[in-house]
Structures are given as C-alpha cells and as structure tokens.
Amino acid sequence: MSHTTPQSVSPMRAAWQRLMRQRIHGVALAFLVLLVLACAIGPMFSPYTQAEQDLELKAAGPSASHWLGTDSLGRDMATRILYGGRVSLEVAFLATAVAAIIGVGYGMVSGLAGGRVDAVMMRIVDIIYCFPFINFVILLMVIFGRQFWLIFVAIGAVEWLTMSRVVRGQVLALKNLEFVVAARANGAGFIHLLFKHLLPNLAGTIIIYAGLTIPGIMLLEASLSFLGLGIQPPDASWGVLLGDGSRVMDVSPWLLLYPGLFFSATLLALNTLGDGLRDALDPKSMSQQ
C-alpha cells in the first residue's frame, strides 16, 4: 500500500513514523505499555496481596515462591512493587493532568488576551517561579494529612508554570495566523477561539511538555513518599518502597535494589519517549538532529 504520498500523510501519522524511526523509542513505549498492564492487572494474578504479612519468613531473598523476595514483614516484594507502581503511575499521570489543565488554561488566556493582561499574567508567573515550591508541597502534605488526592493536586498546582509559558508562546504565534483572524472576523468569541481554534493546534505542544513533565513529577512524588510525607502505609508507592529499602539496605539490599531498578527503568523509558516525542512533534528541534 504505497499510495500515500508525503503530502497525504497526516501530521500525527508523520510524527508517529518519525518517532518509531529510532528503535529505542519503540522499546521505551513497549516497556511502558507492559509496565502499565503489569501494574494494572498483575496484582490480581499474584497469590499474595500487597499488605499480606508472613512474619515467620520476614525479610528473605528472592526464591521460587517470592520472585523478588520479601520485606521485613514478610510481604511479597513483586506484588508490592507492582502495586506501588500503580500508585506511582496514577499520581504521576493525575498530577500531570492537573498541571497541564492549569498551565494550558493560563497560557492560552494570557496569550490570546495579549497586551496589559498578558504582561501582568506573565509577570505573575515570573514571580511564582521564585517560590520555594518543594517547601510549600511539604507544608501542604504535613498539614492536610497526606491524602491521596492532595498529593497530585499539590504537585500539579506547582508544576504548571513551564507549560503556561510554552503554551502562551504558541498562542502568540498562532493568533495572528489567517484562520484565527478569519474566525475572529466572523465574530467568534474569546471562548470559542480558545477551544475551537487554538486548543486543537496546541495538542502537539501540550503532549510534548506533558511528556517531559511526567518523570519530574514521578520523582517529586517518590521524594515526598521517601520522606514519609506522601503515600502512607500500608499503601505503597515506589517512593515508600525505596524509603523502606534504604533503611535496611545493609542487611537486605534487594529491598532497595528491585524497586530502584523498576523506578529507574521507568524514568529512563519516560525520558526517552519524552525526548522522542519532542523531536517527532516539534519540527524546530528536529533540525538539530
């Protein structure tokens, strides 16, 4: 089927082809899909639950019945890692969604409004950039009781700044193009312009920056949980497992090693795919390749 000439390839399809030109991107994508599947349905097939304790076994190395060993309370590590991955991935995606919604909304309004409104809104972003975010997040977590929903809302609420800047820049470039001017001449209102004309054209940019934000957010969640300020026991995220593991690393190093491997591999895949998406969707950065 070679009737598709270069002109007839849709932009998204072309981007997909550029993305898959490098095998490493395919590998990263396949790894992430497998990981998501394993975290989503893996725990169902495990003979153990993540909180089930076997106090006689205590911390034991990998064996036939516990593939990745058990922790100091005799809980199956493989199950805990998959379950923790589910929590970590959920927080990462939800927090990224929160950050993207705030950032895109703010950036679009600022860019389209232009003039003094834009200047003030961007100056506010400049000022917020100087805030000690991690301190605010820690404070919020300590004070409001470390609830699951608060974790991603708090992280999302501080991670939207770069997205808003990038989106605003794109809107500035788009809003003087003919199709927007034409829509405006036809009497399109502010909201209509935002949702019908600008948002679809921002999709690529939004995907790129969301992709680049996810690993950072995963790290932030893991840091909070590592410090005991994020996900609370008996629930577990990878940060919780790493925190537990680092306290007993001298006697049972596998409790640090396996969650660490999973976490690093996931970050690696996310970063690789994020960079690949940027190169595939952003013609400007392609020229550097």
Partner 1 sequence: MIRFLVSRFVQGVVVIFTVITITFLILKASPGGPFRSERTLSPEALAAKMEYYGFDKPWPVQLWRHIVHYATFQFPESQLFSGRTVDEIIVSGFPVSASIAVPALLLALIIGVPLGAQAALRPNTLEDRTSQLAATIGICTPSMVLGPVLAILFGLKLRWFNVSGWFDTSDWVLPAMTLGIIYSAYIARLTRGSLRETLAQEFIRTARAKGADNTTIIFKHALKLACLPVLNFLGPAAAGLLTGSFIVETVYQLPGLGQFFIASAINNDQELLIAISAFYAVLIVSFNLAVDILQAWLNPRIRLHA
Could you give the CA distance from residue 178 to residue 181 in angstroms, rounded to a whole number? 5
CA angle 271, 108, 118 (to 5 degrees): 115
The two three-digit tokens of residue 45, written as one number: 């097939």
Q: Does 14 bind partner 1 (CB under 8 A)?
A: no
Q: Does 226 bind partner 1 (CB under 8 A)?
A: yes
Nearer to partner 1 (CB atom), residue 73 or residue 124? 124
What is the smallest separation between the CB atom of 58 and partner 1, expressed in angstroms? 20
Beta bridge partners of 76: 70
Helix ranges (DSSP H) in 160-237: 161-174, 178-185, 190-192, 199-226
What is the smallest separation between the CB atom of 162 and partner 1, expressed in angstroms? 12
The number of beta carbons lying within 10 Å of the beta carbon of residue 254 is 21
Which range of residues in 92-100, 107-115, 128-136, 185-193 is near partner 1 by CB under 8 A? 128-136
Nearer to partner 1 (CB atom), residue 206 or residue 224? 224
Q: Is 280 left (phi over 0), alpha (psi -120 to 50) or beta?
A: alpha
Q: Does 263 bind partner 1 (CB under 8 A)?
A: yes
Q: Does 246 bind partner 1 (CB under 8 A)?
A: yes
Nearer to partner 1 (CB atom), residue 13 or residue 123? 123
Amino acid identity, residue 147? Answer: Q
Place of tokens 């001017």: 181
Q: Does 209 bind partner 1 (CB under 8 A)?
A: no
Residues 74-103 that bind partner 1 (CB under 8 A): none
What is the smallest separation between the CB atom of 52 and partner 1, expressed in angstroms? 26
Q: Does 7 bind partner 1 (CB under 8 A)?
A: no
**Main-chain phi, psi angles of 70, to 5 degrees:** -130, 160
Residue of 242, 273, 277, 281 that binds partner 1 (CB under 8 A): 242
Q: Does 73 bind partner 1 (CB under 8 A)?
A: no
The site that binds partner 1 (CB under 8 A) totals a number of residues, namely: 39
Residue of 1, 55, 127, 191 that binds partner 1 (CB under 8 A): 127
What is the smallest separation between the CB atom of 237 and partner 1, expressed in angstroms? 12
The two three-digit tokens of residue 243, written as one number: 């925190």
Could you give the CA distance from residue 76 to residue 42 in angstroms, rounded to a whole number? 13
Residue of 44, 55, 64, 130 that binds partner 1 (CB under 8 A): 130
What is the smallest separation between the CB atom of 219 and partner 1, expressed in angstroms? 6
CA angle 23, 212, 98 (to 5 degrees): 135
**Main-chain phi, psi angles of 287, to 5 degrees:** -60, -20
Could you give the CA distance from residue 155 to residue 145 in angstroms, rounded to a whole number? 15
With beta carbons less than 8 A apart as the criterion, state whether 202 and 171 touch: yes
Binding mask 138-177 for partner 1 (x = CB under 8 A): xxx-xxx---------------------------------
Nearest-CA neighbor of 179 among 157, 198, 161? 198
Q: Which residues bind partner 1 (CB under 8 A)?
A: 127, 129-132, 134-136, 138-140, 142-144, 215, 219, 222-223, 226-227, 229, 239, 242-243, 245-246, 249-250, 253, 256, 260, 263-265, 267-268, 271-272, 288
